[in-house]
Structure 1
C-alpha cells in the first residue's frame, strides 16, 4: 500500500474498533457496561473498556495472533465478552461468537470450518472446544480462574494506548456468525465492519433512540440481533446492562434498578414477565421501547403489555444474520390495510425492500413473492461457499427465503418461509396465518403449524400447541375457533398438545423436527 493510499484509508476508515476509541474520548467516564453474574454487579467505563481492549490486542499478538486470524468466543453476556470482541475489531482478528447451546458436533464444525486459531471461553465451556480433530486451535484463554492462560493474565502489563498500526478496510470481515442449521450444516455468515457500523447508526434513527440511552441485553450476544443492539448502544455512548440468562423476576428488578429505557425480548419472555404476580410493584416508567421478534405476539398479550408498561411502545423487528439486523420494523400503532396479518412493516432507512417473482421482477402491492432486501447491511458472503453466496444475491438483491407481500399502506406482510408452505389438496396454506389464528384462541400460548404426508391431501395441516397453565386442552373448541376464522382447507386436520417444542439454539421452533416426529400421523 502506497503512503497516499495508507493515509486515505486512515482518514476515511469505518472500523468498529474506532467506535470504542471515540467513545473513550467523548464519554470517557460514563458507564459503558453493567454486568450481573453470580459474583454480583460489576461495571466498566468507556475509557476502561477501551484500554482493556487495547491491552488484549497486544496480549493476543504476543501469543501469535496476526491480522486475519480467527478467534472464537464462548461466553455468556458479560463485560469480558465485549472486551475480547472489541480487541478483535481493533486488531483485525475475525471474531467468531459461538452459540454454546448448539450440539457439540455443530460447535466442533464451526470451530473447524472457521479455522479458529484462538479460543476464549468461560471455564465451563472449555470442554466443548476439545476434540482431536481441532488441530487448528493453538491458543486457549480462559475468562475466569483456570489452570491455563487467563484473560486477566493476557492483559496484564500490556500498553493500554490505542492501536495505530492496523489498517482495516470497511468491507473486511469483522465477525462470522453461524446460522442455526435447522435443515443442514450451519453456514458461516461473514459480516463486515461497514454493515455493523451502518446498523449501529440506522437502528437508533429507526427506533428513536437517543445518545446515552440505556439498554438491557438478555438475549445471548452470540445472536446477530442481540449483538446489533449492543453495538448500537455503545455507539450512542449509552449504558449497556448485561444479564447472562433470562429469569423473569430478575429482569423486572434490573429494569427498575438500572432505569432501563429499552430492551429486546422474545414474545414468550414478555409473556413470562406478564405472569409475575408482583409485576405491578415495579416502576417501569423509564422503559419507552420494547422490541420483540422471531414470533408474532398474540393480541391479548400485547394489550396486557401496554397496560403493564404504560410508557412503552412495542415494535416487532425482523432481520437475518445475512442482513445485519434490523432490516425492517413493524412499529407500534402503524397504519395498515388489513386488520389481522403478520406484519413486518417498513424497511430501515438504509434498506431497499421489494417483493420479487422467480424471474427477479418486482411485484406491485398485494402480489405475493419472495421478500428481498438490498443495501449496506448485507453480508460479505457465506464462508467458503461460493455457490450459496451467488444464489442468495441473484438479480442484484438479497433473497431472504421468505414469502410476503406489501399492502397499500407500504407495510410488508410476512406470509411464510418458502420451505414451510403447506401444499394441501392443491391449495397453498401459510403456516404462519394458521398460527396467528391459533394464538388468538383463549387457551393457546405457543404454537407451530406444519405439514405431514397424507394419502388424500398430499400434505395435511397439523398443529402442535402449548396450553396456558391452569387451562385444559380442548381440541374440539380449538378446531371450532379455527373454523370460524379460516378457510376449510386451512383448518388443522390434527392438533396435538405439547409441553415443549424442539428449538434451535437461538430459540426458533424446529418445524423440520416436528414434521419428522409426526410424519406417520395419518398412516393407516
Structure 2
C-alpha cells in the first residue's frame, strides 16, 4: 500500500472531481496530480534523494496537501513541523532528522534566518505562496512551472512516509517513524466502522495539518474520494463559514474547538446541517457540550478517537451509537478494527476487567520506532505492544476508560504538553531551586499548564517573569498559564516529587 496510489485512482476514475478547495481556489484531481508530479520533480532537482527528509512549516493550505503527496512521489520522507514551536525547537528537529529541504509559507518565512543560523545544513527553503520568494528561497510555483512531471516512485509498504515529532517524557521531542502501511492501516480500519468520513464527501481541515489526528482524517478521505476543504487554521468564524459555504460533511475537532465554535455567534448564524461526521479526540467531551454540539450539528454522528502519534494514530473509537448511552460517554470506546488493545500490569500481564493498569496496543499501525532512539523504541514496543503510558481499565464489553496519564502528560486545548520538558526549561532559571509542572482543570482548555516553584535562597521572581523566560525557549502552549510559589514540594520516601499530592491541592 502507498498513499500516492489514491492519486492514480482519482485521475483515472474521476479526473474532474474537485480534490481541494482553499478559499476561492478549487483544484481538480487531474490538476492536483499534475502539480504533485511536477513538484516532486522539483524536489529531485533540488537534490532530494531516496529517503531524504523534507520538512513542512506552514499553516494549512491546498499546497500542504500537495506537499504531503509530492514528497513520497519523489521517494522521500515528509517531516511536518509543529507550527507552535519556537525556532530552537524547530532547529532541533531539523538537525536531528537531518532535514535539509524545508517548505515555509509567508507566516514562517521570517524564521528562516534564525533556523539557518542554528542549523547550517538547511540547504533549500521553498516558499509556498503565490508571491515572489524572499532572498535565499525558492519559489514553490516556479518549481511546479519549470519541471516536467516526474514518474511516481510509488514509495510505500514499510518505507517511511514521515517522521512526526511528539513531546517526550525525557523533556525533548522524539521523531515517530510511520510507514505508508502504518498510516493506511489506521485509515482503513477507521473507515471500516462506517462512522469516520463520508465517501465522496467534503472533509474540512480545521485542525492543524502537521498533526497526526488531521493526517488520519486526510488519509481516510483520500481513500474514499473525498474533497479536502481547507482553512488556514481554526477560528470559529472561519470554520462555520466554510461549513456553510462549501457544504462540508466531515470535520475533526478537539473538544476545546467545539466549545469555542459553539460559543461564537457565527455558529448560530450559519447553516451547519450539511455535517455528517464530527470526529473529536484528545479528551472526552462533557455531557453539556455534547448536547449543545448535537443540536448545532443535527445530522451528524459523533465519534471519539483515542490514540497517539505512535499508533498512526488511532487505537480505539467511541462510535455514534455509543454516544446514545450516557454511561459510555466517559469511555474512549473499543478497539478499532485494525487494533488489539489490552490493559496490563507492570509485568505486562493482562489484568482482570475493571482493574486499572497500562493501556497497550498492537497491530500493523504501530510505529516503526523513534528516529535514532533505539533504546526508547525498545522500551515502548517491548513484546510487540505499544506501551502508551496511559493508565486505564476495560469493562466487560471491551470499552476502555482512561483514568490517568502515567507519563505526566498534560492535554491543553488538544495539544500534548509533557511536564518534564517544561520543568527542564524552568530549572534553567537561576531563581528556581526546584519545580513541578502539572495539569489542573480549566473550563476553556480542558487542562492548563500549572507550575509549582520553590525559589532559590535570596532570589525573587514573578509569575510573568518565569512565563516570559519559558516563552523564549518553548512553544507558547507549553508555557505555564499559572505559577504558584511554595516553600517546599511534597517529596516521597524515595525522594520523588509527589505530583498526585500537588494535583489534589485546590490550585
TM range (shorter): 0.7 to 0.9
RMSD: 3.5
- The equivalent of 1:24 in structure 2 is 11
Query: How many corresponding residue pairs?
Result: 445
Contact 1:337–1:407 (8 Å) recurs in 2: no
Work out which of the two has the higher radius of gyration on C-alpha atoms and give 1 or 2: 1
2:155 to 163, 168, 193: 168
Structure 1 Cα separation of the partners of residues 333 and 282 of structure 2 = 14
Compute the displacement of 1:78 (Å).
0.7
Deviation of the 1:100 alpha carbon: 2.1
Which residue pairs with 1:120 in the alignment? 103
Instruction: State whether structure 2 residue 273 is matched by structure 1 residue 291.
Output: no
Residue 509 to residue 395, structure 1, CA distance change in 2 (3 Å):
farther
Q: 2:486: which partner in 1?
A: 520
Retained in 1: the 8 A contact 2:236–2:266?
A: no
| Equivalent-residue separation in structure 2 for 1:523 and 1:176 (angstroms) | 38
SS of 2:299's partner is: coil
Q: What displacement does 1:86 show? A: 0.8
Whether 1:159 and 2:125 are equivalent positions in the alignment is no
Structure 2 residue runs of 5 or longer lacking an equivalent are 424-435, 446-466, 491-507
1:135 is the counterpart of 2:120: yes
Partner-residue secondary structure (3-state), 2:391: strand
Query: After superposition, what is the alpha-carbon deviation per residue over 1:385-424, rounded to whole angstroms, capped at 9, x for unaligned?
Result: 0000000011221100101010122210001101339xxx
Change (3 A) 1:307 1:281: same
Q: C-alpha displacement at 1:337, in angstroms?
A: 9.6
Deviation, structure 1 residue 46:
1.1
For the residue of structure 2 that corresponds to 1:171, the secondary structure is coil
Structure 2 matches for 1:101-250, cutoff 5 A? 101-129=84-112, 130-144=115-129, 145-147=132-134, 148-160=137-149, 162-163=151-152, 166=153, 168-181=155-168, 184-208=171-195, 209-250=197-238
Distance 2:318 2:328 in 1: 13
Question: Aligned-pair distance for 1:274?
Answer: 1.6
- Report if the CA contact (8 A) 2:169-2:407 is conserved: no
Deviates more, 1:49-58 or 1:116-125: 116-125
Residue 96 of structure 1: which of 79, 84, 92 is its match? 79
Counterparts of 1:337 and 1:463, CA distance in 2: 28
1:229 Cα deviation after fit: 0.8
Deviation (angstroms), 1:466: 4.4
Distance 1:519 1:236, change over 3 A: farther
Unpaired segments of 5 or more residues in structure 1?
A: 1-13, 422-430, 436-447, 453-458, 469-499
Match of 2:52 in 1: 69
2:431 aligned partner: none
Which aligned pairs between 1:401-412 and structure 2 lie closer than 5 A? 401-412=389-400
Write the mapping of 1:408-427 to structure 2, written as runs, cut at 5 A: 408-420=396-408
Equivalent residue for 1:265, pick from 253, 265, 271: 253
Show the counterpart of 2:384: 396
Q: CA, structure 1 residues 173+62, in 2 after alignment: closer, same or farther (shift >3 Å)?
A: same
Q: For residue 514 of structure 1, report the CA deviation from its aligned partner.
A: 6.9
Rounded to whole Å, the distance in 1 between the matches of 2:92 and 2:400 is 36
Distance in 2 (alpha carbons) for counterparts of 1:307 and 1:333 = 16
Q: CA deviation at 1:149?
A: 1.7
Q: Post-superposition shift, 1:158?
A: 2.2
TM-score normalised by length of structure 1: 0.77
User: Deviation at 1:308?
Assistant: 2.1
Contact 1:323 1:379 in 2 (8 A): yes
Contact 1:289–1:315 (8 Å) recurs in 2: yes
Cα distance change on mapping 1:338 and 1:142 into 2, 3 Å: closer
Taking the aligned partners of 2:284 and 2:179, their CA distance within structure 1 comes to 30
Residue 314 of structure 1 is matched in structure 2 by 302
Whether 1:87 and 2:70 are equivalent positions in the alignment is yes
SS at 2:192 equivalent: helix
Q: Is the 8 A contact 1:249 1:276 kept in 2?
A: yes
State how far apart, in whole Å, the 2-side matches of 1:21 and 1:326 are. 26
TM-score using structure 2 length: 0.80
Q: CA deviation at 1:92?
A: 1.3
Query: Residues 131 and 63 (structure 1 numbering): CA distance in 2 closer, same or farther, change over 3 Å?
Result: closer
Are the equivalent residues in 2 in contact too, given 1:99–1:223 (CA < 8 A)? Answer: yes
Query: 2:430 is matched with which residue?
Result: none
Where 1:339 maps in the other structure, the secondary structure is helix
Q: Deviations over 1:355-413 (max 9, x none)?
A: 11111111221111110110011111100000000000112211001010101222100
Change (3 A) 1:336 1:124: closer
CA contact (8 A) 1:224 1:325 kept: yes
Determine helix, strand or coil for the equivalent of 2:378: helix
In 2, Cα distance between equivalents of 1:192 and 1:377? 9
After alignment, is 176-185 or 353-362 more displaced? 176-185
Quickly say closer, same or farther: Cα 1:288–1:29, change in 2 above 3 A: same
CA contact (8 A) 1:341 1:413 kept: no
